Structures are given as C-alpha cells and as structure tokens.
Structure 1
Amino acid sequence: MATLGINPGLPLISILIPTYNRAVYLRAALESALSQTYPNLEVVVLDDASTDATPEVVQEFQQRDKRLLYVRNHANRGLVANWRQGIEIARGDFFCFLGDDDTLEPEFVEVLMRPLQEDASLVLAFCDHWVMDAQGQRLPDTTDVNTRRWRRAGLVEGRVSDFLRVALIDRAIFIGAVLFRRSTVEPSFLADEARALVDLWLLYRCAQRGGAYYVPQRLASCRWQLGGVSRSWNWRVYGFEGEMFCYEHFLRDPQLAPYHPIFESRMAYALVTYGNTLLTLGKHQEARAQLRRALRLRPLLRGWIGLGLTFLGPVGIALSRWGRTVRGCLLRNRYIPNYPEELWRHPKPATSIPSSEALTTPTLS
C-alpha cells in the first residue's frame, strides 16, 4: 500500500469520515482522528453534498494538517454509496469508519492495529466504546448499561471464538469501534440493499474472510442525540428494509441454520414494527403485506391488531398513531430487550456457528 511519507516503513491507516450536514460536530471528529498517537495515517472526509459549513471546517483543518483529504460529492449519493466510495479511496493497509459526530481516543489506531499485525488471519479488531451526550460529555452509567446490553461485558480480550454469533446474534460490534484489514474487505461488501443495516451486512461478509479480535478498552465515543436521523420516520423505514434484506439472506444460509429460529423471531418482530410504522404513515396496502409476512413467521398479538387496523381506513391510522403514543408512554423507563427473541425466551442454541474458514460466500439475488 502507499504511504504518506511520514514514516514510510510503517503501515498506513485510513480513517474514513462519511458526513452530511454535521459541521457542528465534525470538528471534534477531525480533532480526534488527527490526534492519534500513531502518526502514519490519512483522514478522508467523505462529504455527501452537505449544504452547511462542512467545506469551511475541513479547509480549516487542511491548512494545518496535510494528512487530511477532502472528497465532496456534487449530489447526495446516500449512506451506502458514500461508505463504499470511502473503501475504494482508502490507501491504507488498515481502515476504520468514524461517524461525523463521534470521536476516537488517541490510542485507538495504535492499540487495534497491534493484533492485526501479529495475526494475518484476522480481518478486523474491535473495542468497547463510551456513550456521550449531544454536548460531548461522557455518560459512565449509560455506557456501562450499553456494554452489558450489547453483550460485550462477557467478552474477554483476544480472538473471538464465534465471530458470526458475536456480530449477527449479539450485535456486539459497533462499526465506529472497528479497525479493518483493507486487503480482505472489498467495496462490494457494502450492498445497497442492506441500507441502514449496511454495517451488519459488512460484518457478515467480513466473517467469510477471517477472524475478529476484541479489546475491552473503550477507545471510541458514540454520541447519542434525541431527534437524530436514526429516529426519523423515513430512516426507520430505510432501516426496516435493510433489516429484511439481511434476515432473508441469513435464513437462506445453511451455515447459519442453528440460529434460524432467532432470525425468524427477529424478522417477525421487525416486520410487525415495520407494518405498524407504514400504517401510521397512511400506507394501508404496504402495511397489510408486511404484517401478513410477520404473522406467517410468528402469531404476534401486535401483528394481528395492526392487520385489523389496516382495514379501518382513516380510523385505523388514527388508532395506530394513538396506540404508538400510549405504548411509548407505558414503555418509557422500562427495560426493552435488544434481542426480540428474549420476548419468547428461545433457548440459546447448543450448536455453534462453524468457523469462518468453513463458510462460503453468499450469493446475492
């Protein structure tokens, strides 16, 4: 791989920052990327046609650090295409994705690169991360809860014994806390159909190529914001569509057969939520189709209620919206499982997923 001439004998690291209209937070992300203790790196800002002060912020940093590369799209290409473009541009031996409102600890690259250098069979190394509020203040208690809920508390440092379970079942790998080996990750791993779940699909494809290494240190920070894009209605629909793509492929993968009951439960739960969301948006026919798909997988009460409401026209829409409001109030401050199968208490499969060496590359339809 090419080097930037800082330390030509050292591997080059690419820190990719996809961004869209986040100039107010981008400054902190850039500061953290350029403050790494490991110096031989390039920081690539992938601007998806922002209309705010993003170009000015980047130019300010470029004037004082030549390791910063700015790529600006003339038109908005969307999340997946922008990420894929980043991998295509990356010149590093290793690369990571940094959210435009997230940050990295100074030792992030140095610590995660070490196991990748020592073991060529690893495709990625990942770590735990902090949760911070909109102002950038760390939330220790929330962080601890987050670590437990995403099942990282039970992981020990070292090579992950069951990469696919940790990635797809436990969903323990936060994409903003991962360092990838560039030679094993292809741009095609980012499928457009995966939409908002492109990170999950990327991990699935990576598991076909090698292993993963976990570091329990919190070497990144993820910003939690109320009312962010991930909570908008359009983004939820975008996310559900990606979720369906992933689950449909997982359920066709014979290597994942021990976990098919879990994927079916999650797919049913997601389809019910997807269908009720479409109904809330006034899309009766689409909602009915998704709810029927859900009920073929699991006879969920919310699914039957939602299906009935699709036949009531405007009254059904109003009742659906009212129901979402009431449900939100009732569930506020109550524990909601990250893993829907917990609602049905599916036993943990006794069979482990085969090692990555035994897996075959999936065929996309």
Structure 2
Amino acid sequence: MSSQTAAQPLVSIVVATYNGAKYIEAQMDSLIAQTYPNTEIVVVDDRSTDNTLEILQRYARQYSHVHVYQNEVNLGYVKNFERGVTLSTGAYVSFSDQDDIWLPEKTAELMAAIGDHPMIISDSEIVTENLEKRCNHSDLKVIQDFYNPLMFATDNCVTGHSLIIKRAVVEAAIPFPDMAHDLWLGFFGTLHGTVKYFDKAFVKWRQHGRNVTTTQSDEQQKIEVTKFKLRTFRDTCPPAFEKEKAVFDALLKTYDSYSLVNNFNRMRLYFTYKKYLLAMKKGKPFKIFTYCIKMFFQMRKHP
C-alpha cells in the first residue's frame, strides 16, 4: 500500500446488480477508474439469471479490490444494498447502480469536500439509454444542503449514486425500512447533521423510459406508502427532534380521510412549514402559494 493510499480513508463502493449484463461492464470500468486512491468495490448480485455474475467474477479475478457476492435468495434492491453495506469495510460508503457511468474524479472530489458532515450528495446528469444528455437533476428539483428531517417529508432528490456517507451513520440506519434507500439515508443523515450538497454532476444517470399505467388501486396504494413513510419518519425521530416528530404526526393524521378538517389541516401544515415541506420544489413564490392551496383538495402521493 502506498503512503498516499494509507493516508486516505477507505471508501466502499457498494454495487447492487440484477440482470445487468447489458451495462455492467461500462459501469465497472468507471468505478475502477476512480482517481481516489483507496477504494473497495463490493458487488452483491441478487440472483441474476443472465451472465451478470460471470462478468463480475472476471473483474474480481482481475482487480484485488473488487469483491463479488451473490445472494442465496432474491432480496430486492433495497435489501441488496443493505447487505452490501454489511459486507463492506470502508470508513465511508457510497452506492452504485448497475447501469450508470461515474466520472473518474467523483469519489476524490466528494471526499475532499465532505468534512465533518455525515453525508455528501452531488448533482447528476440525466441521460438516455445511449448516454445522450437530457438535463441535470438540479434542473428538475432544488438540490441543496439539507439540515432538517422535514425536508424529506414530501419529496426526495437524493440519489443513491450521488452520495457518500460515513459508516457510523449508515450502520445506524440499518435495517433499511421498506422504502427507497436513498430517501431513507437522506432523511437519516439530517438526524446527524447537515447533508452537504456539492454542485457538480459526477454521474451519467441512465434513464430507460419505462411507462407505468396508474389505476385507482394504485392511487390508494401510493397513499398507503406515503402514510408508512410519514409514520416511519415520525417514529425514528429522536428526542432532540420532538418538534419535527409532531409535524410528521400531524401530517400523517391528515391522510386518514378527505374530511374538511383533515384537508384544512394539511393545507395549514404546508403553509406553516413550506420552507421544509417544499424545500425541493422549483417555482416562484406564487407557484408555491398555489401549491399549498392545492393541498386542501388532494393528498400528495410522496416518493
């Protein structure tokens, strides 16, 4: 180990794969090309039925810092990432999907900027299947420093591929609940300090353009998912966040029904805490105002 490597904390890049043979080589090449001098790449395959595992094992034979595991049963992507964390050893952890492309300097620049923050996030470049740029993620949502858990009550702009998190924080967040791991970690990070934003797009975030048809049962299911999320956030807030806990609880109660009382309270909460509840929403003040009014008439199905 070189003196430069020894002086830098180990960063574990946790990769979750499932039938990713089409893109995994390009992604693995970009992870291996990271200029940060001290990384391990921990890949957990979730019982792929294509040749993903064969490709990964070839990388593991070629590179000593690549470690490949396969689950005994299919866990789903959230629990697959969780298992990857438990198999990793770095003082810091980052997450990688199987079909993106990372810029070489991503890990190095984020590690140079994380400081005492529990977690750091960055922008992403949204691209087509063929890597043609569409826009940046920051063109769609307000990405900023996040310092209060209420900022994740109604939205999420944290992407797993854009973050680095301290091991102590991510271990405390285990077990991951039944929600997107990046949403959970964004929320959980604010319980330990400010999640820092680094304003640069380090990842080509490949979009595949899948269409989903929404039915009435889907709408009700989304509301139940929102209620689960709000309940989980409420129950996770420690005593130091009693005020936030009370807001999560009050917002959750407005999802019991479309009664006039619930509708009014939901709108009131959005007006009172719009600084947090709409922190990621782009728009001028009048648009934010009308959005709060709209909450009287609808329950928002949060991510």
Is 1:150 matched with 2:141?
Answer: yes
What TM-score, normalized by structure 1, do the two folds share?
A: 0.62
Match of 1:223 among 194, 206, 213: 206
**Structure 2 counterpart of 1:84, which letter?**
E
What TM-score, normalized by structure 2, do the two folds share?
A: 0.74
Q: Which residue of structure 2 aligns with residue 69 of structure 1?
A: 67
**Structure 1 counterpart of 2:226, which letter?**
E
Q: Which runs of 5+ in 1 are unaligned?
A: 269-292, 300-336, 348-365
Helix, strand or coil at the partner of 1:185: helix
Offset, 1:57: 1.2
Considering only aligned residues, what root-mean-square deviation do their CA atoms show, in Å? 3.5
Offset, 1:131: 0.3
Cα deviation, 1:42-65, whole Å, max 9, x if unaligned, reads 111110111111112112322332
Q: Which residue of structure 2 aligns with residue 186 of structure 1?
A: 171
For 1:1-365, list aligned pairs within 5 A: 7-116=5-114, 119-120=115-116, 122-139=117-134, 142-143=135-136, 146-152=137-143, 155=144, 160=145, 162-169=147-154, 171-186=156-171, 188-192=173-177, 194-195=178-179, 197-227=180-210, 231=212, 242-250=225-233, 254-256=242-244, 260=248, 263=251, 268=255, 293-296=256-259, 297-298=262-263, 345-346=291-292
Alignment partners' CA distance in 2, 1:5 and 1:46: 30
CA contact (8 A) 2:118 2:165 kept: yes
**Structure 2 counterpart of 1:115, which letter?**
A
CA contact (8 A) 1:84 1:188 kept: no
Distance of aligned partners of 1:132 and 1:263 in 2 relative to their CA distance in 1, 3 Å threshold: farther
Helix, strand or coil at the partner of 1:21: coil
When Rg is computed on C-alpha atoms for both structures, the one with the higher figure is: 1
**Structure 2 counterpart of 1:150, which letter?**
K
CA contact (8 A) 1:87 1:187 kept: no
Structure with bigger RCO (C-alpha 8 Å, 6+ apart): 2
Q: Percent identity?
A: 21
Offset, 1:71: 0.8
Distance of aligned partners of 1:241 and 1:5 in 2 relative to their CA distance in 1, 3 Å threshold: farther
Alignment partners' CA distance in 1, 2:118 and 2:170: 8
Distance of aligned partners of 1:172 and 1:263 in 2 relative to their CA distance in 1, 3 Å threshold: farther
Helix, strand or coil at the partner of 2:47: coil
CA contact (8 A) 2:18 2:46 kept: yes
**Structure 2 counterpart of 1:202, which letter?**
L
Cα deviation, 1:301-351, whole Å, max 9, x if unaligned, reads xxxxxxxxxxxxxxxxxxxxxxxxxxxxxxxxxxxx899x9695228xxxx
Offset, 1:199: 2.3
Distance of aligned partners of 1:225 and 1:250 in 2 relative to their CA distance in 1, 3 Å threshold: same
Alignment partners' CA distance in 1, 2:51 and 2:149: 40
Distance of aligned partners of 1:232 and 1:162 in 2 relative to their CA distance in 1, 3 Å threshold: same
Alignment partners' CA distance in 1, 2:198 and 2:9: 20
